[in-house]
Structure 1
């Protein structure tokens, strides 16, 4: 299977996380871009733009990709909700409707599924174009967005695999100046464990912290990649080490530890 192009360096981290998960889902399904176009309402060129970070991915496209790949869309939709950016407020005296219609005409057309007319009101859930016409959605979705951010943060920090200690145990605080030991002798069913986390699927990325991050650092060190101090903080040094490890193992080099990277780390 051809390797993916590197995502744009200026792409926001939350958008990057969503696209990486969409890429992995597509790769696992074995479907090509042409097959996705045939099975969904979006063209091959649209999928190429979405999966290479050239254009925001519509929510409906996320749902359709999950459907054709036979996956649960819940986590993907949470990542999409967090990745969404509220458009800037119109300047005083600006005709918001007129400005929105002019500025959004091109992007709305690019995001339209095949066979959908460019004129007229978009269908509910059609993507960024309907957000342009229904700005009140952001006011109503404030609570949902806050919950989504909290949920996604749980995917990127400690304990997301449910392997933590007993209820009532005082949580460990991770911060500068604290370091942890790695137990390189732990193995179960052929997989290596350093004694801090048993997860094999939690998403761990930049600015994360906790035992999952310690586990990543320990496994990187065991494989000969320097993550810096074993402190449970996922900073630029850890991300750089993860990217180098991913390149060597021929994975998507995005600096985010997900199921594929965990599988290689635990070898």
Structure 2
């Protein structure tokens, strides 16, 4: 029994470097897919959904930036719409515009990529 235990230990030790060498020779890993962006939104009777960036429902569209855009992006992500690889960055670019249009289409409201009172209302509902 003691001999077989010793033989097992020697065999395991002999195989360890082989496993390490094969790992070193493996194909380099490709770039990881972006991790899912998480947002922290909460619902209030007064405001509806709020993600912590901006309480206003100010008109916003492509080219805008700042807290209202961060709020928009967070609400879209919360509702399952990707705004692109940059996530909540406060820049209303192509990814955010595309997400807005997809959201508007799904909600059966005018899909123009512009966020006005109607779209804010649906986002915060």
Q: Same fold (TM over 0.5)?
A: yes
1:237 equivalent in structure 2 = 95
Give the deviation of 1:185 after TM superposition: 2.5
Matches within 5 A, 1:73-88: none
Give the deviation of 1:195 after TM superposition: 0.7
Find the partner of 1:250 among 102, 108, 120: 108
Find the partner of 1:214 among 52, 70, 79: 70
Find the partner of 1:192 among 49, 52, 59: 49
Inter-partner Cα distance in structure 2 for 1:259 and 1:196: 17
The answer to whether residue 39 in structure 2 is matched with residue 182 in structure 1 is: yes
Does the aligned pair in 1 maintain the 2:39–2:77 contact within 8 Å?
Answer: no
CA displacement 1:48-79 (0-9 Å, x = unmatched): xxxxxxxxxxxxxxxxxxxxxxxxxxxxxxxx
| Higher gyration radius (CA) | 2
Does the aligned pair in 1 maintain the 2:69–2:92 contact within 8 Å?
Answer: yes
Matches within 5 A, 1:1-267: 182-189=39-46, 191-200=48-57, 202-228=58-84, 229-267=87-125
2:11 equivalent in structure 1 = none
Inter-partner Cα distance in structure 1 for 2:39 and 2:79: 13
Does the aligned pair in 2 maintain the 1:182–1:195 contact within 8 Å?
Answer: no
Give the deviation of 1:189 after TM superposition: 2.8
CA displacement 1:22-73 (0-9 Å, x = unmatched): xxxxxxxxxxxxxxxxxxxxxxxxxxxxxxxxxxxxxxxxxxxxxxxxxxxx
CA displacement 1:175-222 (0-9 Å, x = unmatched): xxxxxx73312524360100111112x111001000000000000011
After superposing on structure 2, the runs of 4+ consecutive aligned residues of structure 1 that deviate more than 3 Å are none
209 and 185 in structure 1: CA distance in 2 versus 1, 3 angstrom threshold: same
Higher relative contact order (CA 8 A, sep 6+): 2
